[in-house]
Chain A
Amino acid sequence: MVNVEEIRDYAANLLKKGEVKSVLGFRRGSASAFAEPCTITDVGEATSLVWDPTCLNNLTLYLVKDRKQQAAAKNPDNRPVGIVAKGCDSRAIGVLLQENYFKREDVVVIGVSCEGTGVVDPRKLSAKLKGRTASRVTFGGADGINVSVYGDETETVIPAREILADRCLECRAAVPALNDVVFGEAVGAREFDEPFHAAKEAESLSADERWATWEHHFDRCLRCFACRAVCPMCYCPECVVDSTTFVVTLGTSAEEKANRIRWCERSANTSESAVYHLTRTIHLAGRCIDCGECERVCPVNIPLRLLNTKLEKEAFEMFEYQAGHDIEQASLLSSFRDEDPNSFIR
């Protein structure tokens, strides 16, 4: 069991010694049981840190944001940042280190082990509670997850399998491999789904069925770009599908405007959304660490995780590549082996 006091003490200590400028962590949210991300800069604030199955976010996103801020700042504060990281979050940090987005000494990873469970899926939880709102969600060890609702403070144990996020059911490494300290036990065996379970299931359908599904999903896409905004790997200053930095001035000729490269239109229709999502998936090939944030934030419930895990599966099975496992490794698309699949080429 992770003792949250230890995390608080460790974070307070880091801040007291001045080893970090801030600590990224989770605190109790203002509404319902769900935790919210927070940045702690004062020693005293460290007591507000929490750790429970509602710590959904991948905080690595805020490391990226901090990096961008410091790069634009007049007097950048380049002291390290502490971050509370689950297994998946630590892999995200690993990928960013592999890509030299920041250096190992710029980040202090306060690892927390999910200890054989994981974080809850808010949608599954609310379905399970049938409209009631959870007031407290805690780890219940091997039995599952303790949930109590507003107006009824008795705790009910819900089997973890029923409310855990899909990615946690398929997770292979719940212990942060990249860390400066780890809290909680390293539980290896997890008795949920096999890795890539959902992607394999989707593959088993016929091509027509798969297209019917994805056409439906791409059609519903609003192009709100929430998936891109929440993704720690989508850090490009300008996105290829949405070139907002094309500056139109008085001197811009009609020809320049007409000839600017637009790989897909910004309108939210099936074909353009398909290009957007497929491009994003390809750009995340070998980089996505399956934190499932894109799927969680999607307002229309598009199963975006499926696309990413499909390529993750191919990378693992065909190229023995796992994103974020080895920061010294060359990236998936900048390396090759002689035994790579060749039979599909004529």
Chain B
Amino acid sequence: MSNPSKVTKAEDDTQGRASVAGARKPGATFEPRIVAFLCKWCSSAGSDLAGVSRIQYSANATPITIPCSGSVSPMYILSAFNKGADGVLISGCHPGDCHYMEGNYLARRKLYLVKELLQFIGLESERFRMSWVSAAEGAKFAEVVDEFVEDLRVLGPQNRLKAKR
């Protein structure tokens, strides 16, 4: 994992964090801010595994651990966009693996509707993403986040649903 581009990204991390706290500096490269809702039983452990395996991946995602992907209220997503997230990632257990038997199936249906609705009002479809990541898939988690960051870099900052205060 000595990919030079990844190293640069890791160095960029400090800059990314600074931009979360304060206003973005003009001229600085755009660092997308991702809010990642991770299921406690799988994706959260998956992101942990990515960390302890020392996999280098973009540090743009702010993880929020939730009990189950089925517990994600659409309000979490709207609220994240409202407060300036460039992308929202929701990650849960693969179908059939839910700790609560059917939470991820319910999430799949609910979040499909949220995705369709956000697209319908004209938010770029790439800004909302869902993934199935198990506790053993640290590498997949890193890949999902990297891919998401790349796509968001192309789109630029999210200004449509962001509160203008």
B121: chain A residues within 8 A (beta carbon): 210-211, 214, 274, 278, 307
- Residues B122 and A209 in contact, CB atoms below 8 Å apart: yes
Interface centre among A213, A263, A271, A310 (most CB of B within 10 A): A271
Closest CB in chain A relative to B148 CB, distance in Å: 9
- Residues A271 and B130 in contact, CB atoms below 8 Å apart: no
- Residues B110 and A275 in contact, CB atoms below 8 Å apart: no
> Which listed residue (B74, B112, B114, B125) contacts A341, Cβ 8 A?
B112
Given contacts A271-B82, A345-B108, contact A263 B75 (CB under 8 A): yes
List residues 136-165 of chain B with CB under 8 A from any CB of chain A: 144, 147, 160-164
Size bracket of the B interface: 35 or more
Size bracket of the A interface: 35 or more
> Which listed residue (B108, B120, B122, B132) contacts A346, Cβ 8 A?
B132
- Residues A310 and B117 in contact, CB atoms below 8 Å apart: yes
- Residues B120 and A202 in contact, CB atoms below 8 Å apart: yes
- Residues A272 and B120 in contact, CB atoms below 8 Å apart: no
List residues 54-107 of chain A with CB under 8 A from any CB of chain B: none
What string of 1s and 0s marks CB contacts (under 8 Å) between A267-293 and chain B? 001111011001101100100000000
B109: chain A residues within 8 A (beta carbon): 319, 332-333, 335-336, 340
Grouping DSSP codes into helix (H, G, I), strand (E, B) and loop, the B interface class, with mixed when no group exceeds half, is helix
Is A314 an interface residue when CB atoms closer than 8 A count as contact? yes
- Residues A333 and B116 in contact, CB atoms below 8 Å apart: no
Closest CB in chain A relative to B57 CB, distance in Å: 15
Complex CA gap A297/B124 in Å reads 30
Is B11 an interface residue when CB atoms closer than 8 A count as contact? no
- Residues A318 and B131 in contact, CB atoms below 8 Å apart: no
A212: chain B residues within 8 A (beta carbon): 122
Is B95 an interface residue when CB atoms closer than 8 A count as contact? yes
What string of 1s and 0s marks CB contacts (under 8 Å) between A231-246 and chain B? 0000000001000000
Complex CA gap A240/B79 in Å reads 12
- Residues A344 and B115 in contact, CB atoms below 8 Å apart: yes
Given contacts A207-B124, A210-B122, contact A278 B106 (CB under 8 A): no
A285: chain B residues within 8 A (beta carbon): 113
- Residues A311 and B119 in contact, CB atoms below 8 Å apart: no
Interface centre among A214, A315, A332, A344 (most CB of B within 10 A): A344
Closest CB in chain B relative to A297 CB, distance in Å: 21
Complex CA gap A17/B118 in Å reads 52
> Which listed residue (B108, B123, B124) contacts A342, Cβ 8 A?
B108
B122: chain A residues within 8 A (beta carbon): 207-215
B132: chain A residues within 8 A (beta carbon): 345-346
| 4 extra interface residue pairs, beta carbon distance < 8 Å, beyond A345-B108, A345-B131 | A212-B122, A215-B122, A334-B106, A346-B132
The 4 closest A-B pairs by CB, nearest first: A211-B122, A210-B122, A336-B105, A346-B131
